[in-house]
Structure 1
Amino acid sequence: MNITIIGVGNMGSAIARGLVKSGAIKASQLTCTDLDTKLLNRIQSFNSEINISQNNTEAITNADVVILAVKPWKVESTLSALKYKLNFNKQVLVSIAAGVTFNEISKYVSKEHIDEEENSPVLFRVIPNTAIEVMQSMTFIASHNADKTQEDVIVGLFDKLGNAMLIEEDQMTAGTALASCGIAYALRYIRAAMEGGIELGFYPDQSKEIVIETIQGALDLLRENKSNPETEIDKVTTPGGITIRGLNEMEMNGFSAAVIKGLRESK
Structure 2
Amino acid sequence: MSTISKKIAIIGGGNMGVLLAKGLAASGNYQPENITITRRNVRLLDGLASEGFIITDNNKAAVAQADVVVITVLPQQLDKALDNIKEEVDADKHLLISIVSGVSGKDITDRLGKEVQVVRAMPNTAIAVRESMTCIASSNATLETMALVKEMFDTVGETLEIHEELITSATALCACGIAFFLRSIRAASQGGTEIGFHAAEALHMAAQTAKGAASLLLKQKTHPENEIDKVTSPKGCTIAGLNEMEHFGFSSAFIKGIKMSAVRAGGLYTDEK
TM-score (norm 2): 0.89
The answer on 1:54 being equivalent to 2:60 is no
Q: Once structures 1 and 2 are overlaid, which stretch shifts more, 33-42 or 90-99?
A: 33-42
User: Could you list the per-position Cα deviations for residues 99-140 of structure 1 after superposition, in whole angstroms to 9, with x for gaps in the alignment?
Assistant: 1222221121106xxxxxxxx210011112122222221112
Q: Which residue of 1 aligns with 2:255?
A: 260
The answer on 1:4 being equivalent to 2:9 is yes
User: Could you list the per-position Cα deviations for residues 162-199 of structure 1 after superposition, in whole angstroms to 9, with x for gaps in the alignment?
Assistant: 11211112111111111111111111111111111111
**Aligned residue among 13, 19, 23 for 2:24:** 19
User: Could you list the per-position Cα deviations for residues 21-60 of structure 1 after superposition, in whole angstroms to 9, with x for gaps in the alignment?
Assistant: 1123222221222221213322212x22x22222222222
Q: In 2, Cα distance between the equivalents of 1:194 and 1:94?
A: 37
Kindly provide the amino acid, as one letter, of the partner of residue 138 in structure 2: S
User: Could you list the per-position Cα deviations for residues 132-162 of structure 1 after superposition, in whole angstroms to 9, with x for gaps in the alignment?
Assistant: 2222211121113111110011111111111
Q: Which secondary structure state, in structure 2, belongs to the residue aligned with residue 74 of structure 1? A: helix
Kindly provide the amino acid, as one letter, of the partner of residue 230 in structure 1: E
Q: In 1, Cα distance between the equivalents of 2:77 and 2:249?
A: 40
Q: Which residue of 2 aligns with 1:201?
A: 196
Q: Once structures 1 and 2 are overlaid, which stretch shifts more, 75-84 or 226-235?
A: 75-84
Confirm or deny: 8 A CA contact 2:42 2:55 kept in the other structure. no
Larger Rg: 1
* Bigger RCO (CA 8 Å, 6+ sep): 2
Give how far 1:81 is off. Answer: 2.1
Structure 2, unaligned runs of 5 or more: 1-5, 263-273
TM-score (norm 1): 0.91
Give how far 1:84 is off. Answer: 2.1
User: Could you list the per-position Cα deviations for residues 203-222 of structure 1 after superposition, in whole angstroms to 9, with x for gaps in the alignment?
Assistant: 11111111111111111211
Kindly provide the amino acid, as one letter, of the partner of residue 266 in structure 1: S
**Aligned residue among 122, 137, 141 for 2:117:** 122
The answer on 1:39 being equivalent to 2:34 is no
Confirm or deny: 8 A CA contact 1:9 1:39 kept in the other structure. no
CA RMSD, Structure 1 to Structure 2 (Å): 1.4
Kindly provide the amino acid, as one letter, of the partner of residue 262 in structure 1: G
Q: Which residue of 2 aligns with 1:63?
A: 66
User: Could you list the per-position Cα deviations for residues 215-250 of structure 1 after superposition, in whole angstroms to 9, with x for gaps in the alignment?
Assistant: 111112112211111111111111121111111221
Give how far 1:262 is off. Answer: 1.4
The answer on 1:99 being equivalent to 2:102 is yes
Structure 1, unaligned runs of 5 or more: 112-119
The answer on 1:214 being equivalent to 2:219 is no
